[in-house]
Amino acid sequence: MIKTIALDLDNTLLNNRKEISARNEAVLKRLHEQGIHVVLCTGRPINAIWPYIEQLGLTMPEDYTITFNGGLVINNLTKEHLFERGMAKQDLQPLLSFVEANEIPLNVLDFDQVYELNDFPGSVYRTVLKNIKFESIASRHLPEKVYSKAVMAISPEELSPIIKHLPASLKEQYHAVQSQPMIMEFLPIGVNKSVGLKALLDHFGEDFSNLMSFGDADNDLEMIRAAAQGIVMKNGLPQVKAAATAITDSNERDGVAKYCERYFATQL
């Protein structure tokens, strides 16, 4: 029985205007009111998606969000961390050396803010991520603390050849995923959305047989594979669609709501 619904945001729950449609909102609210956990799963921090949380009414004591692509599970109401996994400053050194040698802009995030490395300006991350503090800093001045991820945020035309020629050593040291055409994320090895969901399902006394997940991109792949119902959008990447239990309509055509209306027909 499905008791939890996990939802990617960009190009999945959100339309191309970064909105939750009225149809998606209405269906998810009805399911949430009936006791089904509705969990937003994103690479962003919770402050950056708070308007969506409020729109869906996900502010009850047992409402949680998966942030930083699985690196942090946070209670929406209390902001208590149920689970977190990050990396130390020294763990970032191979990536810092690579971007320095190739003059690539980089942003580094802890669990509260963004450190915008000013060694090589040109990142577009400020235009993508809202409602979070940005601090301009040289890489050598990064404080000694736990970091959630690092992000390359540049135009797709610039990012594509970097990804194509990314050294194998970096792929071995980080979980590197492209979450949007202009964003490449470097997470700790072993961190993905299914890891955060496993911690949350354990908290709920559930397992992956109780999970329905919706996604479209590489950073959704693990939670699509793990879920009893792994649903991929019509606009999803081919390799993600290949792992799906089912394909639903696109993010522009209320694909989340359409699938839920069919699957939960007797409850809606």
Question: pLDDT tens across 105-124, in order?
Answer: 999 999 999 999 999 889 99
Structure tokens at 176: 């590197």
Q: What is the mean pLDDT of residues 124-128?
A: 92
Q: What is the pTM of this model?
A: 0.90
Residue 216 identity (one-letter amino acid)? D
Structure tokens at 118: 């000013």
Percent with pLDDT over 90 in the chain: 94
Structure tokens at 217: 């991109």
Hey, is 108 helix, strand or coil? strand
Query: What is the CA 50 to chain-centroid distance, rounded?
Result: 14
With a CB cutoff of 8 Å and minimum separation 6, the contacts of 202 are: none
Listed residue (267, 264, 236) closest to 251, CA to CA:
236
Check pLDDT > 90 for residue 180: no
Contact 27, 36 (CB under 8 A): no
Looking at the DSSP bridge assignments, the partners of residue 187 are 175
What domains appear along the chain, each with residue ranges and CATH number? Answer: 4-84+191-263 (3.40.50.1000), 89-188 (3.30.1240.10)
Helix (H) or strand (E) holding 64: strand 64-67
* CA separation, residue 213 to residues 37, 165, 209 (Å): 12, 31, 11
The whole-angstrom separation of Cα 92 and Cα 106 is 11
Contact 90, 108 (CB under 8 A): no
Structure tokens at 222: 């693990």
Q: What is the mean pLDDT of residues 183-188?
A: 95
The whole-angstrom separation of Cα 216 and Cα 227 is 14
The whole-angstrom separation of Cα 157 and Cα 52 is 30
Range 143-162 burial, b when 16+ CB lie within 10 A, else e: eeeebbbbbbbbeeeebeee
Check pLDDT > 90 for residue 245: yes
Check pLDDT > 90 for residue 131: no
Check pLDDT > 90 for residue 170: yes
* pLDDT tens digits, 3-52: 999 999 999 999 999 999 999 999 999 999 999 999 999 999 999 999 99
Q: C-alpha angle 21/198/190, rounded to 5°? A: 100
pLDDT band at 267 (very low <50, low <70, confident <90, very high): confident
pLDDT band at 268 (very low <50, low <70, confident <90, very high): confident
